[in-house]
């Protein structure tokens, strides 16, 4: 479908352009195509254009799509929504990444339920960067203590930090949030924790995120179009 193909090429070219403008390698920021609420056939179309990394928020919806997409075996699945403890098993068995770890208990379940023949689940700690009361994620000052616990879990590989920036804020404020993320990652590194991922930037703020060091941007509507419905599980 031309619509999806054009959107994907557009987003990839925006990413390359801003990487180069900010003196980074043109492939320094990877694209995660966020397909929540869109059907498996849209994912397949984008997959056939060459995209491999996809992000999903709702575990049941995602899990059904993994069954439908058996013909796309090398999709890399990124879970970017909150995970309830009764859903960890699905994630441990089929996901490659979880960007939204904020509770040790959930992380322990994921590590325990990860099948031994599979590589460790790649994880990021979700940071509630603007300390918004109704957002998921932990406070910046809790990142290092949680990281020290997570690196002990055998079937998880702590890769870095993730955030959803505050909506509708000024460019100055956005820059401040993304810079704080970058500083938090540097603090982990100074503490001897080898994490290298900054998962930040969505359709509306990806350029600012990349200028501030994002290594993974999570882009939904700029590729798939406006979401028509919301799901809750």
Stretch touching ligand PLP by CB under 6 A, among 3-11, 40-48, 113-121, 218-226: 218-226
Which residues, 78 to 107, sit near ligand PLP by CB under 6 A? 80
CB 117 to ligand PLP: min, Å: 29
Decide: residue 190, CB within 10 A, 0-12 exposed, 13-18 middle, 19+ buried.
Answer: exposed
Stretch touching ligand PLP by CB under 6 A, among 90-98, 141-149, 166-174, 217-225: 217-225
Choose which of 6, 179, 221, 233 interacts with ligand PLP (CB under 6 A): 221
CB 164 within 8 A of CB 135: yes
Determine if 30 is a binding residue for ligand PLP (CB under 6 A).
no
Stretch touching ligand PLP by CB under 6 A, among 103-111, 146-154, 167-175, 196-204: 196-204
Instruction: Report the residue number, 167 or 194, with the smaller CB distance to ligand PLP.
Output: 167
Which residues, 48 to 77, sit near ligand PLP by CB under 6 A? 57
3-state secondary structure 100-133: EECCHHHHHHHHHHCCCCCCCEEEEEEECCCCCC
How many Cα atoms occupy the beta-carbon half-sphere of 71 within 13 Å? 8
Determine if 218 is a binding residue for ligand PLP (CB under 6 A).
yes
């Amino acid at each position: 479908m031309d619509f999806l193909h054009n959107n994907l090429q557009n987003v990839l070219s925006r990413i390359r352009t801003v990487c180069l403008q900010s003196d980074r390698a043109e492939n320094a920021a990877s694209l995660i195509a966020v397909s929540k609420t869109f059907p498996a056939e849209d994912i397949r179309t984008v997959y056939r254009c060459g995209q491999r990394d996809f992000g999903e928020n709702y575990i049941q919806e995602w899990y059904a799509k993994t069954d439908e997409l058996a013909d796309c075996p090398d999709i890399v699945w990124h879970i970017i929504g909150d995970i309830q403890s009764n859903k960890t098993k699905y994630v441990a068995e089929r996901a490659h990444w979880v960007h939204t770890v904020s509770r040790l208990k959930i992380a322990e379940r994921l590590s325990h339920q990860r099948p031994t023949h599979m590589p460790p689940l790649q994880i990021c700690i979700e940071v509630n960067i603007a300390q918004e009361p109704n957002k998921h994620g932990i406070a910046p000052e809790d990142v290092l203590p949680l990281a020290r616990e997570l690196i002990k879990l055998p079937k998880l590989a702590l890769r870095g930090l993730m955030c959803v920036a505050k909506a509708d804020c000024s460019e100055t404020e956005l820059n401040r949030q993304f810079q704080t993320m970058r500083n938090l990652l540097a603090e982990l590194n100074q503490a001897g924790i080898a994490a290298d991922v900054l998962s930040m930037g969505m359709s509306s703020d990806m350029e600012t995120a990349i200028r501030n060091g994002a290594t993974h941007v999570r882009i939904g509507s700029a590729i798939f179009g406006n979401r028509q419905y919301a799901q809750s599980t």
